[in-house]
Amino acid sequence: MLVKDCFVSAPGKAILHGEHAVVHGKVALAVSLNLRTYLQLKATTTGKVCINLPNIDTFLCWSLFDCCVLLLITARREEVKLLDSELVRRLREFVGVTNGNLDTGNMATLAFLYIYLSLFGSGELPSLTVSVWSELPTGAGLGSSAAYSVCLAAALLCASGAIHTPLKELDHTARWCQEELELINSWAFQGEMIIHGNPSGVDNAVGTWGGMLRFLAGKIIPLSKVPLLRILLTNTKVPRSTKVLVARVKDKINKFPSIMTPVLDSVDAISCTCEKVLSEMTCEPITGEHYNILEELIDINQHHLNVMGVGHPALDTLCQVTLTRGLHSKLTGAGGGGCGITLLRPGTVDHTVQDLRDCGFDCWETSIGGPGVQQHSPSSIKKEVLEILNQY
C-alpha cells in the first residue's frame, strides 16, 4: 500500500484569560499560538514505519512485519472516544517502555504507533516515514503535545483515506471541513490521552480549530471569528508544577472564601469582556480603544493571578520590562514561572524581544488567533523548517 506524501501543521495554545479560574467553574479563553508544529509524511518502500523527532533526538524504525504481529493479537476498534488500553499495554512492551520511563520521546512514540496501528490495522500497513519539527518549547504549557497529536491525526487520517486531502494544485495551505476536523480532533485526543493521562481536551481542540475557544465547565466552544493579534511569547524558563499551583489556588480559596470568590467572578467577567471586544474587532474597524481595553484586561488579570498566589518574580520582571516599552503582559497557563504573553499593537517595531532575552528569557514574536491544523504545499513552509524535515 503506497500512501500520498503530505505536509501538515498545527498551532500551539495559550490561555488568554481564565487560567486557574476555569478549575473553579469560570470561563477561560484559549487561543491558538502561531508557533507551529510541522509534520512531513513520506511514503517509502523500505517495508518499515519510521518516526523522526529531531527536537527531542528521537529517531526510530520498526519493520512492518513486527507491527503486524502486534496487531494479530489486538482487536480492531471503531470507537475512538475511549483509549484501547490493551493496545497501549502491548505498545509499551513493544517499544520497551517500562513504567518508570515516561519521557517525552517514549510518549510521542507510543502516541504515533497507537494512531498509526489503529487507523491502518484493519488493512495493509503502509511503509512510511513521519518527521516532525516544532517551534514550540515542550513542557511549557503551550500545547506542544497536542499540536503533535493533531498533526499525527491529520496526516495519518489523510494517508488512510478516512479524510480527504484538501490541498488543491496552486494552493499554499488548505483546511478540512467541520466533520473531518471533528475526526482529527478525536484522534488527536487519543494521542493526548496516551501522553497526558487525563487531558482537558482544550489543547487538541485549539490545535485543530485554531482561533479562540471558550472553555467552561468541561464544555469547549470554538468561537466563530477572532482577530489575529500580534504578541510576544516569553518563556521565563522557571520550572513549576501545575499540580502544586492548582492546589495552592484551591487552598487560598478555602482559606479566604469571601475574599477569593469575588476575584474568580472578576476573572470570569474579564474573559467575557475580552471575548466581546475581540468579537467587535472582527466586525467593526479596529481602533486604539480596542487595544486599550485588551491591555487593561491583561493588567487586571495579572494582578488577580498574583492575588491567587501563582505569580513569580520572573513574571514581575517580564511585566516591568515590557511596561517600560509601553506594553502589557500577563502570565499564561499555570504561572509560578512558565510563560507570559505580551500584546503588541499593529505596526509597532519592537525592541522588547531583545530586552527580554537579556533577562535570560526565551522570547518569540508571534501571533494568536491564527488557523488551526492545515495542510501545506512544500513551498508554503518556511525554508528552515523544510530543510530540517527533508533531512529524513
Interface ranges with a second copy (CB under 8 A): 256, 258-260, 262-263, 265-266, 269-270, 272-273, 296-297, 299-300, 303-304, 306-307, 316, 320
Phi-psi region of 180 (alpha: psi -120 to 50; beta: other; left: phi over 0): alpha
Strands 48-53 and 58-63: antiparallel
* Min separation Cβ 173 and a second copy, Å: 38
Residue with grid cell 482537558, as numbered in its chain? 200
User: Residue 10 CB: number of other CB atoms within 10 A?
Assistant: 33
Distance between CA atoms of 25 and 265, rounded to whole angstroms? 10
- C-alpha distance from residue 32 to each of 44, 112, 272 (Å): 33, 23, 18
By beta-carbon proximity to a second copy, the closer residue of 160 and 302 is 302
Grid cell of 166 as nine digits: 484538501
By beta-carbon proximity to a second copy, the closer residue of 128 and 260 is 260
145 labelled catalytic: yes
By beta-carbon proximity to a second copy, the closer residue of 117 and 267 is 267
* Min separation Cβ 29 and a second copy, Å: 14
* Min separation Cβ 306 and a second copy, Å: 5
Catalytic residue among 145, 149, 160, 271: 145
* Min separation Cβ 320 and a second copy, Å: 8
- Chain centroid offset of residue 365 CA: 17
Contact (Cβ atoms closer than 8 angstroms) between residue 248 and residue 310: yes
By beta-carbon proximity to a second copy, the closer residue of 146 and 270 is 270
Catalytic residue among 131, 203, 268, 271: 203
| Residue ranges of E strands in the chain | 6-17, 28-43, 48-53, 58-63, 128-134, 173-174, 212-216, 219-222, 229-235, 329-332, 339-343, 362-368, 374-376
Contact (Cβ atoms closer than 8 angstroms) between residue 372 and residue 212: no
DSSP code of 54? Answer: G
203 labelled catalytic: yes
Q: For the chain, how many residues are written? A: 392
* Min separation Cβ 313 and a second copy, Å: 9
Closest-CA residue to 219 (of 206, 202, 204, 203): 202
DSSP code of 142? Answer: S
Closest-CA residue to 212 (of 200, 201, 224): 224
* Min separation Cβ 384 and a second copy, Å: 41
Half-sphere exposure of 149 (CA within 13 A, CB side): 32
Distance between CA atoms of 390 and 383, rounded to whole angstroms? 10
DSSP code of 371? Answer: B
* Min separation Cβ 259 and a second copy, Å: 4
Distance between CA atoms of 387 and 392, rounded to whole angstroms? 10
Grid cell of 81 as nine digits: 472516544
Bridge partners (DSSP) listed for residue 341? 233, 330
* Min separation Cβ 275 and a second copy, Å: 12
Provide the 3-class DSSP secondary structure of residue 300: helix
In degrees and rounded to multiples of 5, residue 198 shows phi and psi of -140, 65
By beta-carbon proximity to a second copy, the closer residue of 174 and 277 is 277
Instruction: Give the residue numbers marked as catalytic.
Output: 145, 203
